[in-house]
Amino acid sequence: MKKILSLLCIAGVLAACNKVDIKAPDDFTVTTSSTTYTIRDTVKFIFTANPDQITFYSGEPNHNYANASRTSDQPDSTILTFSTVTTAPSATTQSTSVNNITVLASTDYSGILDIANIKKASWTDITARAKFATATTSVSSGNVHLEDLTKGSAPLYIAFKYVADTATAVSQSRKWTVTPLAIKSYFRDTTNVVAGSIQTAGFSNILSVLNPANTWSFANASLTFNAPAIGSSSDEDWAISRPMNLSIISSDLGVNIKNTTVLLSQYKYTFKKAGTYVVTFVGENVSSGGLAKTIRQITLNITN
């Protein structure tokens, strides 16, 4: 027992000896000859000390240290766009009605693809916000704003619903094709593509409530509903997107300008646009035991 205790004590001492006490590079400083420059000037940042590594944030959009840990934010606007094509109206074969397709949005749909859960959810009809084709010529929806529909980080679902009462109809309902589609969130300093296509929006969640023989089909990045024949059963069919978090935003990134193999005494940078920028340098000392950092910032006024 005494031998075991002795071995444990020796192991503890060795572990303590191997532990490296990492100190932040507090002597790391950054200076410039001025705080005002033009877009034609090259700004020279002068360093003291020698941190193991230095990361540079210019303060420009997508490179702002204040947003380095940001993962979500409230977008200024979120816009859905898509295009539609339909069949040309005919007095005998194609209905002149264009209201058998609706676009809906929900923030409380459970994601369970059955009629009970679809009906249980609250759906906002946003059809009137978009433009639709009236014939075989493709028509863009225009910008369909969604920002008023979001509730914090609750996911948003978009659905295309097709309804056709063909059992007693004297003319065939319209065929519809939806493509391309995109959903983008616009923030103060950046844009996030929530979904760039029918595919990435996840419109493979298709449910036929009535007449399962006829339903939405997904192929070649398009969502299509082929019109049922006159006298066939009535249709109600849903194509629902994946849940989409419209507040997700990428963290801003810095540029690593120094590692442990380089001795860096200065760094040069030219700003392309006028403005006020909070420039940040993160100096870090690193080892197998972790890292310790020191942050230095300079506010620069850049003029034309």
Q: Report whether pLDDT(151) > 90.
A: no
Same domain, 136 and 153: yes
Q: Which pLDDT band, with edges at 50, 70 and 90, does 73 fall under?
A: confident
Residue 7 located in a structural domain? no
Q: What is the model's pLDDT at position 165? A: 67
Same domain, 81 and 169: yes
Same domain, 215 and 264: no
Distance CA 95, CA 188 (A): 45
Q: Stretch 234-249: mean pLDDT, rounded?
A: 89
Same domain, 89 and 225: yes
Mean pLDDT for the chain overall: 86
* Residue type for position 155: P
Residue ending a domain, choose from 240, 274, 294: 240
Q: Which string of b and e fits 247-268 if b means at least 16 CB within 10 Å? A: bebeebebeebbeeeeeeeebe
Q: Report whether pLDDT(17) > 70.
A: no
Same domain, 236 and 258: no
Q: Which of 64-73, 153-162, 167-176, 266-275 has the lowest mean pLDDT?
A: 167-176
Q: Which of 14-18, 84-88, 178-182, 245-249 has the lowest mean pLDDT?
A: 14-18
Domain that holds residue 280: 21-70+253-303
* Nearest Cα to Cα of residue 61 among 248, 253, 295: 253
Same domain, 125 and 62: no
Same domain, 57 and 91: no
pLDDT tens by residue, 179-199: 899 999 999 888 888 998 988
Helix, strand or coil for residue 276?
Answer: strand
Q: Stretch 173-182: mean pLDDT, rounded?
A: 89
Residue 248 located in a structural domain? no
Helix, strand or coil for residue 2?
Answer: helix
| Mean pLDDT comparison of 40-54, 58-72, 149-163, 228-242, highest-scoring range | 40-54
Q: What is the model's pLDDT at position 27? A: 96
Residue 234 located in a structural domain? yes
Q: Residues of the chain with pLDDT > 90: what percent?
A: 59
pLDDT tens by residue, 87-141: 866 655 555 455 689 999 999 999 999 999 999 999 999 999 999 998 889 999 9
Same domain, 162 and 264: no
Same domain, 216 and 294: no
Q: What is the model's pLDDT at position 18? A: 52
Q: Which residue has the tokens 């996840």?
A: 202
Residue 37 located in a structural domain? yes
- For residue 186, the tally of other CB atoms under 10 A from its CB is 14
Same domain, 90 and 194: yes
* Nearest Cα to Cα of residue 71 among 151, 187, 157: 187
Helix, strand or coil for residue 97?
Answer: coil
Q: Report whether pLDDT(168) > 60.
A: no
Q: How many domains does the chain fold into?
A: 2
Same domain, 183 and 62: no
Between 249 and 33, residue with greater pLDDT? 33
Same domain, 42 and 150: no
Residue 278 located in a structural domain? yes
Distance CA 302, CA 41 (A): 9
Residue ending a domain, choose from 187, 214, 240: 240
pTM for this one? 0.74
Beta-sheet strands, E only, within the chain: 29-31, 36-38, 43-48, 53-57, 77-86, 101-106, 124-125, 139-140, 144-145, 157-164, 176-186, 191-195, 205-210, 216-219, 222-225, 235-240, 255-258, 266-269, 275-287, 290-303
Tokens of 246: 């419209």
